[in-house]
Amino acid sequence: MRLCSTAAVAFGLVWSLAAAGPSWAQRAGPNVDAPVLRTFNWFGYVGGDDIRDRCRPGSRNRIRLVYNGLWEEQVRTYELTLQPDGTAGLDVGVLADQGDLSSLLIARPVDVTNPWRMKRGQRLLDPAQTADLMGALQASAAFGPPHDGLRLPDNDFWWTVASCRNGVWGFQAYHYPTDGFANVRFADRLYALDNVPVAINKPRKLEPAQFRRGFDSHSAQRGRGDRWMLVVGKDGLRPR
């Protein structure tokens, strides 16, 4: 049965929630591990909607970085939680070889989505590592303001940074190969701390995104459900 009917989507959502158990309920942000949940939550996750909603004086200091290494090939996420003692918790997530999930077939629900689930890693950063990473973020203007109108296609390389520090919301985005992306100083630091055993898909020269989208009239890929574009506003992502 294809994931195209309301019943199939509802079944997948309910099953994913049940299978995730208590660990899902305890996550600080929207769940994006399971493919069905990712379908509903991904754009709000990249935009840091949950971080922004909870950002007020006295709230937790959090930074979420998303590296889009071409949606079909790889996405890496980094959740940084800053602690009062100068340390930080780092949660790493990797999505690889996602392809077009709109044609996903359900045979055995327990197994079928495993290849598309997020691979996870965790690190505790000491004060020196935390200070070094925060310095690189500051040097990259990672806390905003972003370039209003910047476009982030699914099939390009880019970073987003959503943050709440001392009750102040911030957002930034960098699109390859613009000057802003070239000025990123934090990427190599994060890669060095990344303990998920999946090779990093670093940026490479490609044709412009519009020539690789497969929406031309002669393409068999026309109208695929996994093609999307994010647009940056003055202080975050614009509504889709």
- 229 lies in some domain: no
Would you say 50 and 28 are in contact if contact means Cβ atoms under 8 Å apart?
yes
Mean pLDDT calculated for residue range 151-156: 94
Gap between the Cα atoms of 215 and 213, Å rounded: 6
Is 70 exceeded by the pLDDT of residue 222? no
Domain that holds residue 32: 6-202
pLDDT given for residue 218 in this prediction: 41
Gap between the Cα atoms of 62 and 52, Å rounded: 10
Ranked by mean pLDDT, the top range of 87-91, 103-107, 176-180, 221-225 is 87-91
- 123 lies in some domain: yes
Mean pLDDT calculated for residue range 57-63: 96
pTM over 0.85: no
Is 80 exceeded by the pLDDT of residue 215? no
3-state percent breakdown (helix, strand, coil) of the chain, nearest 5: 30, 25, 45
For 166-195, how does the pLDDT look when each residue is reduced to its tens digit (9 = 90+)? 999 999 999 998 888 988 999 999 999 999
- 131 lies in some domain: yes
- 174 lies in some domain: yes
Q: What does each C-alpha distance from 234 to 55, 145, 148, 169 come to in angstroms?
A: 17, 7, 5, 12
- 228 lies in some domain: no
Indicate the pLDDT class of residue 114, thresholds 50, 70 and 90: low
Share of the chain above pLDDT 70, in %: 71
- 216 lies in some domain: no
- 213 lies in some domain: no
Domain count across the chain:
1
For 3-22, how does the pLDDT look when each residue is reduced to its tens digit (9 = 90+)? 333 334 333 433 443 444 43
pLDDT given for residue 208 in this prediction: 77
Indicate the pLDDT class of residue 226, thresholds 50, 70 and 90: low
- 53 lies in some domain: yes
